[in-house]
Structure 1
Amino acid sequence: MSESESQSQIAVVLPDGSELSVDADATVEDCAYEIGPGLGRDTVAGKLDGDLVAKEAPVYEGANLEIVTVQSDEYVDVMRHSASHCLAQAVTRLFGEDVKLAIGPPTDDGFYYDFDDLDVDESDLPDLEAEIEEIVEADYEIEREVVSVEEAEQRLADEPYKLELLAEFADEDATVTFYRQGEWADLCAGPHVDSTGDIGAVELLEIAGAYWRGDEENPMQTRIYGTAFESESDLEAYLERREEAKERDHRKIGREMNLFSIQEVTGPGLPLYHPPGKTILRELSRFVESINDDADYEYVETPHLFKTDLWKQSGHYDNYVDDMFIFDVGDDEFGLKPMNCPGHASIFEDHSWSYRDLPVRYAENGKVYRKEQRGELSGISRVWAFTIDDGHLFVRPDQIEAEVEAIMDAIDEVLTTFDLDYEVALATRPEKSVGSDEIWERAEAQLESVLESREIDYELEAGDGAFYGPKIDFSFEDAIGRSWDGPTVQLDFNMPERFELSYVGEDNESHQPVMIHRALYGSYERFFMMLIEHYEGNFPLWLSPEQVRVLPISDDNREYAEEIADAFSDFRVEVDTSDATLGRKIRAAHDDRVPYQIIVGDDEQADGTISVRDRFEDQEYDVAVDTFLTHLEAERDEKRNEPDFLQS
């Protein structure tokens, strides 16, 4: 190949690691045709370094390229993006061109589109769905148009929100893309399917309010949520899961079980935990503390706020200040802590260390504060104040693998205790990061070595690491198949450098430790929320706020009921002394999600026995007290996930 030919060629990296040489002006679609004519014809979109792009997007030297077809997992995202355009087109048709368009992206479960100057309510959704169906049946070709910024400004003269977006990513010489379907077009980077007829089953779900760009200082807009699937059967299955998710909603169950409240008078995103909810949180804390104790963590405590001098030293002031609560006290500026790590680094800094002292492991159930937008707050899944089961380790470089191994063992113990199936991903160096190439390559190799040695299947999340180091991410599924982000293990080279942390090595020279961040739950609030919905409030015995309820059949059996309750005093036990009938008492205990009911009447009192009923409505009579007590102790201590006395 001549020098001029080599200069006109670039190489892209395919998913199998091989390189494909293409013309320097090649697009994603060109690359697909280069691989094979069939793949070229089937190409819908592409992924460049993990970002979903249009098939017409140009590739570049060294890009990691994936071709997206109808068979790809990403195809549904492309289709949903196109469905959001159909929604906007339907709104424009039915409510006039005075409606102002904002944004309409795909989401994990569907799509939405934001509008201004739109007066709609839930009763309008069927008409909008019917109009979307007409647009889909019309099978309009979705055409990609490349136009100059000047032309785009003319087209968008009456669309203030689109003009704001245009100004952010365009300059005088730039071009932008519109996507047209029939009479309607929208400023959009894509990608989209080839025609509206390629869109499968669509359903509009709800209407909500949303601030433009998520900023409370901006206008409130109307957001219409919808979803789309390739088939009606997939849509029906999703809607069934959605209804089940509503029944499991932690806010609904939290009210029913008196777990927590978030009150207007106390402020948004600031949960109040009631006794039953705090009981569960205490059990979760005891569990993780037992793991920490076994791993020789030392508990520390840091205050809720620091002078901003600390946040400037740690780098949070430059990178995180918009999400912090900042206020003045006299001449000093303070910030509520969004993270615990700078406090832990300060504690480590306040001592002289030898290489023999490392690793140093600190743990803290630390309350932190992050200023989320009010519109993004939701129950205890997203709040202003939450608690992290934080751990920070200060280690020598040669200790990294062993410590990460131990942390992964602890995370596995937590997730398997709750019967949560999980997946693992290795997140590598992002474009914006600190530290030398050598340090990053070594750290990534060490994390990869741990994963390989454990024979763990993992995804590579290229460029998704923290700016201060790579990490291992865990995600898990709940009882109805929803995926949640879980624990992470992160290596940090930035904070030790910023705080000038050091230890004296075997060579009597000063060395910088590596900092490992880890949390076994993440935040207690988010994990608690997930458990509420995962178990639908039917917590395993060890977590249940009330573990046993004793039900006397009549007033004559109350004294015996109290004696039985005393025998189970190591458990959270209550006696139902109400005047209700036995049937009503049983129903109340079932509605309160109590794992076990002990029923005592004249026969049990005469024989010194009990009847046991579980929340599955199974019952066994003439049970010896010691027999049931022994079983309860084992079920609690072994952290079994279901009441199983009557199934054993």
Structure 2
Amino acid sequence: MSESDSQPREQITVVLPDGSELEVAPDATVEDCAYEIGPGLGRDTVAGKLDGDLVAKEQPVYDGAALEIVTEGSDESLRVMRHSAAHCLAQAVERHFEDAKLAIGPPTDDGFYYDFDDLEIDEDDFAALESEIEEIIEADYEIEREEVSIEEARDRLADEPYKLELLEELAAEGQQVTFYSQGEWEDLCAGPHVESTGEIGVVELLEIAGAYWRGDEENTMQTRIYGTAFEDESDLEQFLERRQEAEERDHRKIGNEMDLFSIQDVTGPGLPLYHPPGKTILRELERFVEDLNEESGYDYVETPHVFKTDLWHRSGHYENYQDDMFIFDVGDDEFGLKPMNCPGHAAIFQDHSWSYRDLPIRYAENGKVYRKEQRGELSGLSRVWAFTIDDGHLFVRPEGIKREVEGIMDMIVDVLETFDLEYEMALATRPEKSVGSDEIWERAEEQLKSVLESRNLDYDLEEGDGAFYGPKIDFGFEDAIGRSWDGPTVQLDFNMPERFDLSYVGEDNEEHRPVMIHRALYGSYERFFMMLIEHFEGKFPFWLAPEQVRVLPISDDNLGYAHRVANEFDDFRVEVDGRDSTLERKIRAAHDDRVPYQIIVGDNEEADGNISVRDRFEDQEYDVEIEDFREHLEGERDEQRIEPDFLAE
């Protein structure tokens, strides 16, 4: 044996979730590391996470990697199982549709999908495909991972043009090429997967949609089949129940029923039109924020919808956001619809001379912005081309950052608690595509971290999710059926002031650079409005409801009294149902229209000069004094209560 053979191989080190380090052989895999920690953990290993990326348990680790072992029962293991379910779907499709071409089939938060070309299918085919998937699962095929050369992979994928395109990208990047096979079927895939198809629980196919290859509108439109998978039938049933409830709450469905908004082909995709009831709600949301801004010392400004691209070059948006902008030429000049309001606000600040005594300067604008989302990604109000941000930009001295950020967070909490929303916070750090020096970013991230920790707030760390110009604190919240939404944000920016050469004169009579803070209390009106529609199922709080009270005369003889009663409530959004219809039908119509309160008037009410009140919960009270009810409504509106509560008193 040579001296070199007798030398122990150099070890590498991986970092475990508790911060401890584990030394392993340089060719060790995720599974090897798990066995090093303990044999039980090794046997239970499903996959691993290397620096946050989910990988196969056969994946080699590398020196300095942050390693997390994925075992059964975790959210990550469910994603692994769903990825394997996607392969079962593709295998079933190819058994039934020989001409289908494979594209991609990843897991998602709710299940999985697989994209195909040359596939004509509708949901009537789901039963046959689900039966085939069950047979594949019952066959308990071993799912085998195989590393292959580029040349061999090309031969295997000769009839799969989309897989070949992916393969060439792997080859160009020098990445490892792996196939996963089960029975007669195989796929180019990085994994990870469960060990056999028998480990997949219950699978259900959900819907069919169109999807552009690689998300590019210039590419082929493919057929996407969505499905989901769970460990057991009860979990699947709960999911399907939640999904059914989500469909009933769909803001597009409710928006149509309540005449809130429309998105029409003739006006263009992703460009919502707000009808009077929808705009009524938006105006109430605007007034709410305007009151908060006024209390907090903001001045309103207004900027145009379009600027010369010189502005976007200076702000950094042109180089970092150009693909998402609408850009066009006018004569010899290039213009762009604004994707953000901040450069315009920076330009306003730049147009003045400031002293340290003037700061902080707080600008607010309900600013319409435009972002060129892929058409296939547009959906109702959740993803649009034109939307409005309740924007705020502050220009502060460095020593004022903590106070201003805390003030903004108080405003955000006020908004979320008004709507009775449970929320969480996250600190989002520097993304891969960003502007500014390491020093600036470290300073900005440390400032936001200190605010969170000085208040003893729980928060998650979202590495790489910051804006390209600075880190941010994001607020997420849950709706009535437990879905998570992104919402308000506060962002620290040391870069925009540098790019616009913003300054103020300090106490030392020298020029200093202000810090810019970006904030939005809703996020965007469109996304927040969408969430409120679904959260409240269209049954808005009294202060938001487009129609707050409907007066129902029992007969035509009471119509005059009904209008006199309505006049007593002219501070509210009140309508009289004067149709020639039965009271029962009028009550049902008001209930279906989600009106918070109904005032019912007949001969008895008219004779006594009072009213009967019915709420959306179908409770009713008789002999109500008009003044008492009006005073209650004023309180319910002014206090912005969530539910109608007159009959609860």
Normalised by the shorter chain, which TM-score bucket?
over 0.9
Q: Say which SS state the counterpart of residue 170 (structure 1) adopts.
A: helix
- Give SS of 1:356's match: coil
AA aligned to 2:396 is V
What does the per-residue CA deviation read over 1:393-418, in whole Å, with 9 as the maximum and x for residues that have no partner?
A: 11222222111111111111111111
CA distance in 2, matches of 1:311, 1:166: 37
SS at match of 2:517: strand
TM-score, normalization by structure 2:
0.96
Whole-Å Cα distance in 1 between the matches of residues 416 and 13 of structure 2? 42
Q: Does 1:40 align with 2:42?
A: yes
- Once residues 142 and 555 of structure 2 are traced to their aligned partners in structure 1, the CA distance between those partners, rounded to angstroms, is 75
Q: Are positions 1:378 and 2:379 aligned together?
A: yes
Where does residue 230 of structure 1 map in the other structure?
231
Shift of 1:479: 0.7
Deviation at residue 7 of structure 1 after TM alignment? 9.3
Change (3 A) 1:218 1:68: same
* Paired position in structure 2 for 1:647: 648
- The CA RMSD measured in Å over matched residues stands at 1.8
Tell me which of 56, 66, 85 is aligned to 2:87. 85
1:584 aligned residue: 585
- Secondary structure of 1:251's match? helix
Q: Which residue of 2 aligns with 1:494?
A: 495
- 1:177 maps onto 2:178 in alignment: yes
Query: After alignment, is 457-466 or 583-592 more displaced?
Result: 457-466
2:3 aligned partner: none
Contact 1:296 1:361 in 2 (8 A): yes
Tell which deviates more after alignment, 386-395 or 504-513: 504-513
Counterparts of 1:242-257 in structure 2, within 5 Å, are 242-257=243-258
**1:217 is matched with which residue?**
218
Task: Indicate conservation of the 8 Å contact 1:149/1:172, yes or no.
Answer: no
Give the match for residue 21 of structure 2: 19
1:64 aligns with 2:75: no
Change (3 A) 1:7 1:403: farther
Letter in 1 for 2:613: V
- Residue 212 of structure 1 and its aligned partner are, at CA, apart by 1.0
Read off the aligned partner of 2:20 and give its amino acid letter.
S
Structure 2 residue matching 1:205: 3-state secondary structure: strand
How many angstroms apart in 1 are the aligned matches of 2:380 and 2:639?
31
User: Residue 351 of structure 2 corresponds to which residue in structure 1?
Assistant: 350
Q: Distance in 1 between matches of 2:174 and 2:447?
A: 46
Q: What displacement does 1:149 show?
A: 1.3
User: Over residues 434-485 of structure 1, what are the superposed CA-to-partner deviations in whole Å (9 max), with x where a residue is unaligned?
Assistant: 3344433332222222222322221122232223222111111111111111
Distance change >3 Å, CA 507–CA 16, structure 1 → 2:
farther
Residues 348-427 of structure 1 aligned to structure 2 (within 5 Å): 348-427=349-428
Alpha-carbon contact 1:204-1:226 (below 8 Å) kept: yes
| Inter-CA distance 173–544: structure 2 relative to 1 (3 Å threshold) | closer
**Greater shift in the superposed pair: 367-376 or 449-458:** 449-458
Partner of 2:277: 276
**Following the alignment from structure 2 to structure 1, what is the Cα–Cα distance between the partners of residues 173 and 437?**
37
What is aligned with 1:339? 340
What is the 5 A alignment of 1:575-614?
Answer: 575-614=576-615
Secondary structure of 2:304's aligned partner: coil
The more displaced of 256-265 and 499-508 is 499-508
Instruction: Spell out, residue by residue over 1:463-516, the C-alpha distance to the aligned partner (whole angstroms, 9 max, x if none).
Output: 322232221111111111111111111112222222122222233332222221
Q: Per-residue CA shift, 1:314-344, capped at 9, x if unaligned?
A: 1111121111111111111111111111111
**Contact 1:148 1:174 survives alignment (8 Å):** no
Q: CA deviation at 1:530?
A: 0.7
Name the residue aligned to 2:529.
Answer: 528
The equivalent of 1:465 in structure 2 is: 466
Distance in 2 between residues matched to 1:349 and 1:26, nearest whole Å: 57
What code does the residue aligned with 1:565 have? A
Per-residue Cα deviation, 1:11-59 (whole angstroms, up to 9, x for no partner): 3332223333333333222222222222222111122222222222233
Equivalence map 1:51-130=2 (5 Å): 51-96=53-98, 98-130=99-131
Q: Distance in 1 between matches of 2:347 and 2:209?
A: 44
Relative to 1, partners in 2 of residues 1:172 and 1:12: Cα closer, same or farther, differing over 3 Å? Answer: closer
**Deviation sequence 1:121-158 (CA, Å, 0-9, x none):** 11111000011111111111111111111111111111
CA contact (8 A) 1:323 1:370 kept: yes
Provide the C-alpha distance between the structure 2 equivalents of 1:49 and 1:503, rounded to a whole number of angstroms: 42
Q: Is the 8 A contact 1:541 1:641 kept in 2?
A: yes
Counterpart of 2:543 in structure 1 is 542
**Does structure 2 retain, via aligned residues, the 8 Å contact 1:149–1:171?**
no
**Mean alpha-carbon deviation: is it higher for 606-615 or for 466-475?**
466-475
Q: 1:386 deviation in Å?
A: 0.6
TM-superposed deviation, 1:5: 9.1
Any residues of structure 2 matched to 1:136-215 within 5 Å, and which?
A: 136-171=137-172, 174-215=175-216
Residue 320 of structure 2 contacts residue 468 of structure 2 at CA under 8 Å; is this kept in 1?
no
Alpha-carbon contact 1:324-1:338 (below 8 Å) kept: yes
Q: Which amino acid aligns with 2:479?
A: D
Structure 2 CA distance, aligned partners of 1:511 and 1:62?
Answer: 41
C-alpha change, 1:7 and 1:330, in structure 2 (3 Å) is farther
Cα 1:48/1:551, change in 2 over 3 Å? same
Q: Specify whether residues 582 and 329 from structure 1 end up closer, same or farther in structure 2 by C-alpha distance, changes over 3 A only.
A: same
Q: How does 1:513-524 map to 2 (within 5 A)?
A: 513-524=514-525
Deviation at 1:433, TM superposition (A): 3.4
What SS class does the counterpart of residue 357 from structure 2 fall into? helix
Does the Cα contact within 8 Å between 1:271 and 1:385 map onto a contact in 2? Answer: yes
Q: Within 5 A, what are the aligned runs for 1:274-313?
A: 274-313=275-314
CA-CA distance at 1:174 after TM superposition:
4.7
Is the 1:49–1:462 Cα contact (8 Å) retained in structure 2?
Answer: no
Is the 8 Å Cα contact of residues 170 and 176 (structure 2) preserved in structure 1? no
What secondary structure sits across from 1:217 in the alignment?
A: coil
CA 1:62 to 1:353, structure 2 compared with 1: closer, same or farther past 3 Å? farther
1:175 to partner: Cα distance: 3.2
SS in 2 for 1:312: helix
Structure 1 spans left out of the alignment, 5+ residues: none
What TM-score results when the alignment is normalised by the length of structure 1? 0.97
Q: Aligned-pair distance for 1:571?
A: 0.5
How many residue pairs match? The answer is 645
Inter-partner Cα distance in structure 1 for 2:172 and 2:589: 66
Q: Which runs of 4+ in 1 moved over 6 A?
A: 4-7
Residues 128/450 of structure 1: CA separation in 2 closer, same or farther (3 Å cut): same
What's the counterpart of residue 258 of structure 1?
259
In structure 2, how many angstroms separate the alpha carbons of the residues matched to 1:139 and 1:518?
53
CA contact (8 A) 1:149 1:173 kept: no
Separation (CA, whole Å) in 1 of partners of 2:144 and 2:515: 52
5+ residue gaps, structure 2, are 1-5
Secondary structure of the corresponding residue to residue 522 of structure 1: coil
Partner of 1:10: 12
Deviation for aligned residue 1:171: 3.2
Distance verdict in 2 for CA 1:351–1:64, change over 3 Å: farther
Q: 1:429 to 1:20 in 2, by over 3 A?
A: farther
Deviates more, 1:509-518 or 1:194-203: 509-518
Q: Check 1:437–1:318 CA distance in 2 against 1; reply closer, same or farther (3 A cut).
A: closer
Deviations 1:584-624 (A, max 9, x none): 11111111110000001111111111100001100000011
Q: How far, CA to CA, are the matches of 2:363 and 2:8 in structure 1?
A: 55
- Is the 1:148–1:173 contact (alpha carbons within 8 Å) kept by the matching residues of 2? no
